[in-house]
Chain A
Amino acid sequence: MARRKLKFDVESRGLVEYADDEPSAFASMLGGLIEANVRTHPEKQNDFDSLKARVGIFVTDIDEGVTLNFTGGQLVVHNGLEPHRTLTIRTDAETVMSLSNLKIGLFGLPVYYDEVGRGVAAKLIRGKLKIEGLLPNVLTLNAVTRIFSVQ
């Protein structure tokens, strides 16, 4: 499958690539968001450089998913859910936006006690946010959250 480098990736090192010739709007949005986050926040660079994981995100109310393949300093975004994922997050569009609005607190841990954090935690408890592979990969989830967060 051909890989297409992101058009605005003009820095010396390509951070994000797309596995599909025509990335979905969701894939482009997540790839673009992560690229912008890493480029503008040096503190996210360490996580990005060390993270090796395949993370699936499936948005239940638009029936679309992506797989984010972090390979330690580079991300390949696939349309749809690819096999052999480390973590898979299944939730609605609104919660995907909330996940990217989680604040990062002490020791680089996501903040679950403010309004956004409580909302995310409540959805997890009610089963409206499902994270497959969570227990053995909590540290990976925290790293992904830090890279993904715009706060």
Chain B
Amino acid sequence: MAVKAFSDEWASQFKDEVNKSPVYKAAAKGWKWTVGLVVEAEPDKHFPEAKGIVMDLFDGEARAITVGTAADAQKCDFVLTAPYSRWKEVATKQLDATKGMLQGKLKLKGDLPTIVRYTKASQEMTECTTRVAVEWPDEN
């Protein structure tokens, strides 16, 4: 059953998908930093307020994924920022996250060598988002 985009239910299902993935578990071995996703508001797409996804990831496991404010996400070790519609493109496989970062469509803050070292893990994490059935606010 589809869940509302970037809701608590979405975060819970996303976490389950990450923890079910053997690819992520192997690729993220040694990862020990928090990751924040800032989803910028787009009122014309019925996404009126920015949200922040805080991901507590450790050694191939998602210990917690929670939805809060953009400020919460900005406190993480690594922060990826994009408007709502860009994140929707990532979650629906219309935009590859690696290409999005190289093109500046997803803005990254954090230690570049570390994020590059874990490219495979971040690609698999993106794959995990695509496995969650989502109800998008601009499609209602």
- A interface residue numbers (CB < 8 A to B): 24-26, 28-29, 32-33, 36-37, 40, 59, 61-62, 64, 93-94, 96-98, 100-101, 150-151
Contacts and interface: CB of A to CB of B under 8 A. Distances in A.
Interface in B58-117: 96, 98-99, 101-105, 107-108, 111-114, 116-117
Contacts of A100: 116
Q: How would you classify the secondary structure of chain A's contact residues: helix, strand, loop or mixed?
A: helix
A96 B98 CA distance: 10
13 contacts: A24-B104, A25-B103, A25-B104, A25-B105, A25-B107, A29-B101, A29-B108, A32-B112, A36-B113, A37-B113, A97-B116, A150-B114, A151-B117
A100 B114 CA distance: 11
Contacts of A93: 96, 98-99, 102
B119 interface: yes
Contact of A101 (B98, B105, B119): B119
Contacts, number: 50
A33 B116 contact: yes
A98 B111 CA distance: 17
B103 A97 contact: no
Query: In this complex, which of B98, B104, B105, B116 has the most chain A Cβ atoms within 10 angstroms of its Cβ?
Result: B116
A16 B98 CA distance: 23
Given A93-B96, A94-B98, A97-B119, A40 B113 contact: yes
Contacts of B117: 101, 150-151
